[in-house]
Structure 1
Amino acid sequence: MWSGRCYGGTQSSLFLSASSTVYCYYFAWFSLLLHENASLTSSFLLRGLANFVFELSYGLLFSGVMQHQEDYTSNASKDDQYFDSYADLSVHKVMLCDRPRMDFYKTLLTDRSIVEGKVVVDVGSGSGILSCWAAQSGAAHVLSVEASSLAEVQQQIMSDNGLSDRVTVIASTVEELVAAGVEAFVKEHPCVRDHSGVALVVSEWMGFYLFHECMLRSVIRARDFFRDVNAALQSSVPVSMLPSSGRLLAAPITLHPYYTETFAAFWDSVDGVSLRTLGKLQFEEHIEATSPLVDVIPAPCLLHDGVVLWEGSFDTLAVDDLASIEAERTFDFSTSVTTTSAKASLGATGRFTVDGFTLWFQVSYRDVVLDTSPFAPPTHWKQTTVLLPREFRDDKTVSFHRLDEQLEVTLRLTAEDPVQRCYRIEFELN
């Protein structure tokens, strides 16, 4: 059994130097538990007798913790550091240059049928661009809620765009608004009463593997708070969410195409000299230092079509629903288009080796979808890949030959202390 439960043993804490958009913690927990006297030629996986084979003469308990920690310090408020990170303009430039992200929100917020005549709340508004689009497209009023120091800058941005009379910037967290209460909010913001309540809550809250950073909790609290505001105003206007639904998907992968495209393409021939050995060293250093690996995964790495691990409506999702997520899924290689295509490229003697699992998400509103899969144009979310421990990758422990095999997997996402804004990610091979 390969799973994320930590039974003891050695703990390794690794620093990940990644994109400037990462300001939170990652945990990937792995363990391999083999029973005593495990001199075994064992096939854990699998219907179809895939090659998940160990030969051991003693019991083995493998465990480890790989922790990502960038800018947080232990003696300061994690929330303060989280919001401060979003005052970093380089972070906003990355997001503003993310074309799929921008196109998704612009398509929706410039659609007058969605925003015209409505009070729109933009939660975690950052640069304010979503608020600007909504106001320019006829929103009755926009409430731009931003907890970082960018709230002050937004006042000038709205003035620069001639929107000061249609956008109110609120320098606050959602939780502070909730604590102050409905009556105080309505008194402070009469536009809500004037236009019969809030109709739309928009936010770009998604993190890596959808849930990282735990911002969705705040957006749900905002949704519920504004429903209470509408109820207090005796308004029948429903509060909708944009995006309104989402999905988390996963697929088993092999790292070979990732190595070929990202490392070998440069190192294999440098001005006529093969530096392949250096390329392999850099690849191994990169992989060992970054698990979970947050990077764009080439589509040929996928050994199976994406399988939905979670899906839900943000109009009805509750905060408590986010405490933990568990899904048991079967990857059936006989029905996967991806596997059939990969098999053809490997030839009749091709052997598939699973090096880990990659995660991505989709969010949507009406028929507009933002897709962060390896088959879609890359985004700043990239994909999140949880790798098997190196010794099992090197030994090709999880592998198969035939298309009629199945791989049964249990995924668990468990929220750590909410202050840490992260989840523990577990994959268990059944």
Structure 2
Amino acid sequence: MGSYTNGVVGDQSGTSNGGDGGVAVDKGVDFANYFCTYAFLYHQKEMLSDRVRMDAYYNAVFKNKHHFHGKAVLDVGAGSGILAIWSAQAGARKVYAVEATSMAEHARAVVKANNLQDVVEVIEGSMEDVVLPEKVDVIISEWMGYFLLRESMFDSVICARDRWLKPTGVMYPSHASMWVAPIRSGLGDQKSNDYESSMEDWYRFTDQTKNYYGVDMSVLTKPFSQEQKKYYLQTSMWNNLHPHQVIGTAATVKEIDCLTASVSDILEIRSNFLSTVTLQNTRLCGFGGWFDVHFRGRKEDPAEKEIELTTAPSVNDGTHWGQQVFLLDPPIRVSEGDKLNASFSMNRSKENHRLMEVEFSCEIRQYSGELLPPFRNRYFIE
């Protein structure tokens, strides 16, 4: 099989300065490239229509009212304001709903329509710049991007926590985990065919340009091929996987305690993991990545009812996050009992701190004991 090289995870509502350990970013550029998306109601509607997401947050708040009753709450990246409204309905004394975009105007309208304007204060501005009149007891936020860390919004939550959360305060969610597993998928064949078609079209183009216009463009064939490979074969994909597409045991590659994590902890994710193939005579077509978040409260002040939000492959509709799919080209034939000894790394893109670069390295020991040639793939989550 030899050694392969493939290529980032992509955007929700986030940081302006990179925070602890981060790199300074131009706020105007960041807003134009990222925050502006969240100013549109269609995008808010997509998230609000995700029943798995909505049910998890609703249950986390209303099954743990003791964390909210009579308390001050900060909603980071408030969007339409629904989490702030739920916090108020659960008995919060005061809710500060911070939203970086003009969606704040719509949030104010929704808050007023629900007669909560005396409790919920919507503040339009960057979380890094906003000044609150008091420390808060709870920080609630839906900060998760594709494969959890895409968009780097957690930076803003960390900033809010370090500036405004009381020493006894709780985080909603409180914990997060990232998972990967080997998968089978027809997407790889489709993308490989798309790449081949793009190259056939390129060869026709260069022939015609030379024959009709007397200019030889074939010197650009290699860079064009690299460009198309990155687009079709090296850029990870969003997909809703079925559990039957997972062909081996899943592994946790990162666990995050939202109460203690720093930006430095998430700038670079590295993990070595083992997976055992669980299907007879199948194809390893790549890896799938997903995340869970948990609402546990804190050790000294635990949740009365712990709630989990998972984006794992589902027999139902799943979530709007789906899973991140990292395709292997070409696929590798594997069978039940084969062992995958893999390493995973994820870093922020140097060009855009909200995008990610991922690398998988893997060797496969077949059930018979034979060791297959290792492979290493790079991916871009965009």
Mark yes or no: TM-score above 0.5: yes
1:409-424 correspondence to structure 2 within 5 Å: 409-417=342-350, 419-424=352-357
* SS state at 2:143 partner: coil
Aligned equivalent of 1:200: 138
What fraction of aligned residue pairs are identical, expressed as a percent? 30
Aligned equivalent of 2:206: none
Q: CA deviation at 1:174?
A: 1.1
Aligned equivalent of 2:43: 91
Give CA-to-partner distance per residue, 1:45-75, whole Å, 9 cap, x none.
xxxxxxxx45xxxxxx864558979xxxx9x
Q: CA deviation at 1:383?
A: 0.4
* SS state at 1:239 partner: strand
Aligned equivalent of 1:383: 323
* SS state at 1:199 partner: strand
1:401 equivalent to 2:341? Answer no
**Greater relative contact order (Cα 8 A, min sep 6): structure 1 or 2?**
2
Give CA-to-partner distance per residue, 1:17-55, whole Å, 9 cap, x none.
xxxxxxxxxxxxxxxxxxxxxxxxxxxxxxxxxxxx45x
Change (3 A) 1:174 1:101: same
Give CA-to-partner distance per residue, 1:166-215, whole Å, 9 cap, x none.
001111111112xxxxxxx35xx3xx3xxxx3110000000111100000
1:365 equivalent to 2:295? Answer yes
Aligned equivalent of 1:79: 31
Give CA-to-partner distance per residue, 1:269-296, whole Å, 9 cap, x none.
xxxxxxxxxxx86994499378311010
Determine the C-alpha separation between the residues in 1 that align with 2:190 and 2:7: 23
Change (3 A) 1:116 1:356: same
Determine the C-alpha separation between the residues in 1 that align with 2:35 and 2:323: 23
Aligned equivalent of 2:177: 247
Give CA-to-partner distance per residue, 1:228-266, whole Å, 9 cap, x none.
xx4xxxxxx51211100011001101115x79xxxxxxx
> Contact between 2:10 and 2:356, CA under 8 Å: does it hold in 1?
no
Q: CA deviation at 1:299?
A: 1.2
The count of residues paired between Structure 1 and Structure 2 equals 303
Give CA-to-partner distance per residue, 1:278-336, whole Å, 9 cap, x none.
xx869944993783110101111111132111112111101111110100011134xxx
Letter of the 2:320 counterpart: H
Letter of the 2:41 counterpart: L
Aligned equivalent of 2:82: 129
Aligned equivalent of 2:263: 319
Letter of the 1:387 counterpart: L
Give the TM-score normalised by the residue count of structure 2.
0.73
Letter of the 1:315 counterpart: L
> Contact between 1:78 and 1:420, CA under 8 Å: does it hold in 2?
no
* SS state at 1:420 partner: coil
* SS state at 1:240 partner: strand
> Contact between 2:237 and 2:325, CA under 8 Å: does it hold in 1?
yes
* SS state at 1:379 partner: coil
Determine the C-alpha separation between the residues in 1 that align with 2:59 and 2:7: 42
Give the TM-score normalised by the residue count of structure 1.
0.65
1:52-63 correspondence to structure 2 within 5 Å: 53=1, 63=5
Give CA-to-partner distance per residue, 1:1-25, whole Å, 9 cap, x none.
xxxxxxxxxxxxxxxxxxxxxxxxx
> Contact between 2:274 and 2:341, CA under 8 Å: does it hold in 1?
yes
Letter of the 2:250 counterpart: G
Q: CA deviation at 1:400?
A: 2.3
Change (3 A) 1:284 1:125: farther
Q: CA deviation at 1:422?
A: 1.3
Change (3 A) 1:207 1:242: same
Change (3 A) 1:77 1:302: same
Q: CA deviation at 1:419?
A: 4.5
Q: CA deviation at 1:115?
A: 0.9
Determine the C-alpha separation between the residues in 1 that align with 2:52 and 2:308: 10
In the alignment, structure 2 segments of 5+ residues that lack a partner are 12-25, 196-230, 297-305, 364-382
Determine the C-alpha separation between the residues in 1 that align with 2:274 and 2:232: 28
Letter of the 2:156 counterpart: S
Cα RMSD after superposing both structures: 2.7
1:157 equivalent to 2:110? Answer yes
Which structure's residues are more often strand, by fraction?
2
1:330 equivalent to 2:269? Answer no
Letter of the 1:96 counterpart: L
1:374 equivalent to 2:313? Answer yes
Aligned equivalent of 1:171: 124
